[in-house]
């Protein structure tokens, strides 16, 4: 048996290794549960805390998790196959349906990728509008995460607060493009809609009102004794594990890796803005919570700068009426709220993509669940699923 198998798949009770958290040591056999070892329990797919239709098969010793297996695919719609049968412009709305709580980010990644294939770029004004909306979307996505994550752990209030404040963002989206959730806000080559009258004021008003509300969330949770006990030291991921498992986004940053595609390989006009990449120290659930909270603050900073610097000019690049990208293949990725969202597109010079592959952050991050929950309690599985911030629409595609 290789080392890897020892580590990741077949760790048995009584074995220690990288997958086993120290403070709940499995070496000493717990006598409390007599001989009731190895109970297999099914969790989901219809389970409120699996954030959709995730099914997890838990192998338990008493209440301790010995291993998990994720069963996914309940929401599989064959997005990649659909893409091969649609034109580039027709496929654009489909991407909103993958990570539906961050539809704007999905659209941005797709438009970026096709623009790269066409060897063009959105005009500056369109880039600023894109950044403003994407950062608003990041906040909205994190609010959904915070609300549901806190609810899973037992804190009811943040859910109402988050959804109340998220409404303001959705109103801006609605006023901008008519849709709240699956926005289809961007088009290949730029934006189709000019900003409405009062867009800038709405954004700034939201920013001003949101920061105190963010403090309110923190007041409820950050020093809350129950919250801290439920999240500190739970679901630890070390940076090297993150890299090996391909985990990205806030989960990676909470492990102490200062890596954000907006800084590492800036797209759109992110290089023009001044913002920090928050990182954590321990890579546990509590740190991931802090990182995401801080990310919302940084998003507000970016929105303010973008609104202040919003240039005038066209919002659509000159691209042909019928999109026929030249033969070639590109991989373009952006920093979505959940991690690295990539699009690998192969063009054969025809109207439709020859192959379109989505690299979904949720799918790859979910793979780390097994490693994170080994040795924890069943209740912590719920916390860890929440902290990974998965959206099953994106996992299954």
Partner 1 sequence: MPEETKDPNAVLPESSAPKAPAADASAPGKAPAETAASTPQTSESKPAAPVAKPATTVKPADATKAPPETATQADATPAAKPATAAAKPAAPAAKPPAKPEGPKPEPWDSPLVAKLKAQYGSGIKEASTYVGQKYLVVDSSIVYEILLRMRDDELYDYLVDVTAVHYPKRELQFDIVYILYSFKHNQRIRVKTQIKDGAKLRSAVAIWPTANWLEREVFDMFGITFEQHPELKRILLPDGWKGHPLRKEYPILCQDQEWVKENLGIESGQ
**Closer residue to partner 1 (CB): 147 or 190:** 190
User: Token pair of 310, please?
Assistant: 């919003």
- Would you count residue 40 as binding partner 1 (CB under 8 A)? no
HSE, side-chain direction, 13 A CA sphere, residue 241: 23
Residue with tokens 């730029």: 190
Binds partner 1 (CB under 8 A): choice among 82, 277, 378, 379: 82
**Closer residue to partner 1 (CB): 36 or 42:** 42
- Would you count residue 335 as binding partner 1 (CB under 8 A)? no
Strands 328-336 and 353-359: unpaired
Binds partner 1 (CB under 8 A): choice among 204, 228, 351, 378: 351
Report d(CA 8, CA 18) in Å as an integer.
9
**Closer residue to partner 1 (CB): 129 or 300:** 129
- Span 143-162, contacts to partner 1 by CB under 8 A: none
- Would you count residue 8 as binding partner 1 (CB under 8 A)? yes
Q: How many residues bind partner 1 (CB under 8 A)?
A: 81
Binds partner 1 (CB under 8 A): choice among 24, 43, 228, 317: 317
Binds partner 1 (CB under 8 A): choice among 78, 154, 198, 309: 78
300: preceding bond cis by omega (within 30 degrees): no
- Span 219-278, contacts to partner 1 by CB under 8 A: 243-247, 257, 259, 264-265
- Would you count residue 325 as binding partner 1 (CB under 8 A)? yes
- Other CB atoms within a 10 A radius of the CB of residue 47 amount to 16
Report d(CA 134, CA 397) in Å as an integer.
21
Dihedral over Cα of 319, 323, 326, 332: its sign: positive
- Would you count residue 320 as binding partner 1 (CB under 8 A)? yes
- Would you count residue 133 as binding partner 1 (CB under 8 A)? no
- Would you count residue 374 as binding partner 1 (CB under 8 A)? no
- Would you count residue 46 as binding partner 1 (CB under 8 A)? no
> What is the side-by-side order of every strand in the sheet holding 353-359?
328-336, 339-347, 353-359
- Span 187-226, contacts to partner 1 by CB under 8 A: 187-190, 192-194
Report d(CA 220, CA 158) in Å as an integer.
7
Residue 159 Cα to chain centre, angstroms: 18
**Closer residue to partner 1 (CB): 72 or 101:** 72
**Closer residue to partner 1 (CB): 158 or 280:** 280
Dihedral class, residue 51 (left if φ above 0, else alpha if ψ from -120 to 50, else beta): left
Binds partner 1 (CB under 8 A): choice among 47, 55, 59, 86: 86
């Amino acid at each position: 048996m290789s080392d890897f198998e020892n580590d990741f798949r077949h760790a048995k009770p009584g074995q220690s290794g990288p997958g086993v958290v120290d403070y709940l040591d499995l070496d000493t056999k717990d006598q409390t549960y007599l001989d009731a070892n190895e109970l297999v329990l099914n969790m989901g797919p219809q389970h409120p805390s699996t954030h959709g239709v995730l099914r997890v098969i838990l192998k338990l010793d008493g209440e301790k998790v010995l291993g998990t297996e994720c069963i996914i695919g309940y929401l599989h719609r064959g997005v990649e196959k659909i893409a091969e049968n649609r034109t580039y412009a027709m496929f654009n709305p489909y991407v909103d349906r993958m990570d539906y709580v961050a539809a704007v980010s999905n659209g941005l990644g797709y438009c970026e990728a096709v623009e790269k294939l066409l060897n063009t770029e959105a005009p500056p004004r369109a880039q600023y509008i894109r950044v403003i909306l994407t950062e608003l979307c990041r906040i909205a996505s994190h609010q959904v995460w915070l609300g549901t994550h806190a609810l899973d752990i037992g804190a009811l209030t943040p859910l109402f607060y988050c959804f109340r404040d998220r409404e303001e963002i959705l109103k801006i989206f609605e006023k901008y493009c008519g849709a709240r959730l699956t926005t289809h806000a961007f088009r290949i080559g730029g934006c189709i809609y000019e900003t409405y009258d009062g867009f800038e004021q709405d954004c700034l008003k939201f920013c001003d009102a949101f920061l105190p509300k963010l403090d309110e969330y923190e007041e409820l949770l950050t020093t809350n004794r129950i919250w801290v006990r439920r999240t500190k030291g739970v679901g630890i991921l070390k940076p090297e594990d993150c890299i090996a498992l391909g985990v990205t986004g806030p989960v990676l940053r909470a492990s102490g890796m200062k890596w954000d595609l907006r800084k590492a390989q800036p797209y759109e006009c992110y290089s023009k803005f001044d913002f920090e990449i928050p990182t954590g120290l321990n890579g546990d659930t509590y740190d991931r919570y802090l990182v995401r909270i801080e990310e919302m603050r940084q998003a507000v900073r970016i929105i303010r700068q973008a609104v202040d610097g919003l240039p005038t000019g066209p919002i659509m690049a000159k691209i042909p009426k019928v999109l026929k990208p030249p033969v070639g293949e590109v991989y373009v990725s952006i920093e979505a709220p959940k991690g690295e969202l990539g699009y690998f597109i192969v063009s054969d010079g025809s109207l439709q993509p020859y192959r379109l592959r989505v690299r979904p952050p949720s799918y790859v991050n979910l793979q780390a669940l097994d490693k994170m929950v080994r040795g924890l309690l069943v209740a912590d599985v719920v916390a860890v699923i929440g902290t990974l911030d998965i959206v099953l629409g994106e996992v299954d595609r």
